[in-house]
Chains A and B, each alone.
Chain A
């Protein structure tokens, strides 16, 4: 393992040199394609259901950013924890949570992960080590640091993967957490999903330091800038950060340079950027198309890829069906789970 600063420098170098990340095996490519497709189709369906009025409140879609959670998950092992903010459906599906339970939570039904009491922004799974689903920008960063604290306290080798956006990266508690994480050498990977906009505010209008990999510099936390549209680059960076954490060296920051195709939430007309900008990223960098093209170049048949599409569509359609027919929670549920 290289020294932190070197590690950061070499990856940045790789990126500017246009060097490609390590190749995936065919199995890895297929898995990445399938998992990213599941998230995309799921989110598209959620968008439809929102338009139909089946989903209420806030609903933040992850379309465009799929490579980040899928690549990171491929670097993790059973027991590693994941926590994120409110743009969380992709993270849940990536950790293996069931599409039915997630979609039914979006529609506020009893079969949802939170029995319909959490909604889009608040789902959890003990079994999959997914710790939410948090609606206050930046709050998950302290909480995720606490998950790492618990690993350290228990002396296990689990790693906390704490996701937040470029907007949350300007919150004060993020730096309070960085300080403690490095001070106590906590095993936490801070994954900053830089999708270029904090709601409607471009990074350049909100951030004095736009290189988020450097945001831990004054705490001596190493950071990498990663092409978050390339699932292989994400996985490689994830591997490096996981090794760093498991070796007891403390936290690491991964800035994932990514892009959100949809608005901040369903009610966002996205007037702060041009249609052309979105189209260009979709055309040039789409994380799913990258994998699909590589697979086709490697002579995987269209038919095999279509089979994956079909499998994913079936899961998503079934979840939408379940989520619209599952009953609402019993009225008595209003009063449960306040205390235990």
Chain B
């Protein structure tokens, strides 16, 4: 029976990719290990190798097709003795959840287009106060928004440079620094050895002289090696020096769970860093916020922890086309207004919060969803004003509940709006276990929209 070649997944978070090029033609002989096609994701171009021998029977997805879902059959290979007539016998592709939402494979284009990815939920009821009315918007991935923010700040200020593992030649482990080396050169886009503790300290030392480093961690999980320099050196020096010597530095990189990368690569450090006076901690959700807040972080004279999310990198959103779009650190945003219950979240937690708000609306519960955006300094006022209106609050975070950011929010609500509460503040969080690998267990370990819905209904006594 003919063998199907499926669209491969090239990274833990890849859901679809572009079929850039076929390197073999129909009828050509193929040996195991031959490169038969090139696949593009928004992160990288990769080669597809044949794992079977035979003849390339039929190309199912023509080159130039964008957004081919993982596991979609892209070609068939005929074994010895089989002919094109056998093609009909090829099994139907095993339909999985992921492939079901894919674009039809026939949507071929002449040239491989720019990669597109899943749009982030855009249930924005409230206009963004930072964007003047009538501003032209461009659709960008979060990855591109981050890159543009860095490039703009590097153009503006020669003291800004970026350092980290694979940021230059490789164009970024997650392609966030794509193109920066080409524009700014090796002096300002610096590949470091794999040496987090050391290069974090080098960055802080350079910042103490007035330079403005952007230190990329391949993930914040690896920054645990460097956390002494982040906290003891970066966060405390201004105070310890009586205000003489500070440290304008950004530590950025993906934080929290990606997909199926298990316990040591999935931790959410929101609460760790937000515990530390002297640090600012930013954890945006929308593409526009990623851009505007990263620009603000780079300009900030203090050390800023900029928590990104790998799952969100490929998501698109509307980013204002302004020469200098900067969002002030420390301001939450009401993304959806409602009067029955306040849901507070940030970063990828917003995915669950917004989905839940949609579900709740169907049942007549209007949730007010607050995207915290900055964890330290925390915009307590926005939370409290909302809770005074709704009388109910649910927090949503991917991190653990104990000593978590949700616990802090709950305490602030109790301290500032106790008399307004009609129900106890409820937390939805990551489960109190290291992150498991198995797909079903990982899903269980993370919060879900269903859990948020349940919590919101509970505080509404519904």
Contact = CB atoms under 8 A, between A and B. Distances in A.
The listed residue with most A CB atoms (<10 A of its CB), out of B197, B240, B277, is: B240
B330 to A, nearest CB: 10
A176 B201 CA distance: 10
Contact of A179 (B193, B204, B277): B193
Nearest to B228: A136
A132 B242 CA distance: 12
A115 interface: yes
A146 B204 contact: yes
Interface in A104-158: 112-118, 122-126, 131-136, 139, 141-150, 153-154
Contacts of B209: 81, 146-147, 150
A115 B301 CA distance: 21
B246 A147 contact: no
Interface in B215-251: 228-229, 232-233, 237-246
Nearest to A118: B240
Nearest to A171: B197
Given A142-B197, A153-B211, A340-B301, A147 B278 contact: no
A335 to B, nearest CB: 10
A114 B187 CA distance: 34
B278 A144 contact: no
A149 B192 CA distance: 12
B228 A149 contact: no
A216 to B, nearest CB: 14
B205 A180 contact: no
Nearest to A333: B242
Contacts of A176: 193, 195, 197-199
A175 to B, nearest CB: 8
B200 interface: yes
B269 interface: no
Contact of A135 (B198, B199, B232, B278): B232
B271 interface: no
Nearest to B234: A143
Nearest to A162: B205
A177 B244 contact: no
B120 interface: no
B202 interface: yes
Nearest to B244: A124
B205 A147 contact: yes
B161 interface: yes
Nearest to A136: B232
A114 B239 CA distance: 8
B205 A131 contact: yes
B205 A146 contact: yes
Contacts of A303: none
Contact of A143 (B161, B195, B205): B205
Given A134-B233, A142-B201, A176-B199, 6 more contacts: A132-B241, A143-B233, A146-B206, A180-B198, A339-B280, A339-B302
13 contacts: A114-B241, A117-B242, A124-B237, A139-B233, A142-B200, A143-B229, A144-B205, A146-B201, A147-B209, A150-B206, A176-B193, A338-B278, A340-B243
Interface of B: 161, 187, 192-193, 195, 197-211, 228-229, 232-233, 237-246, 277-278, 280, 301-302
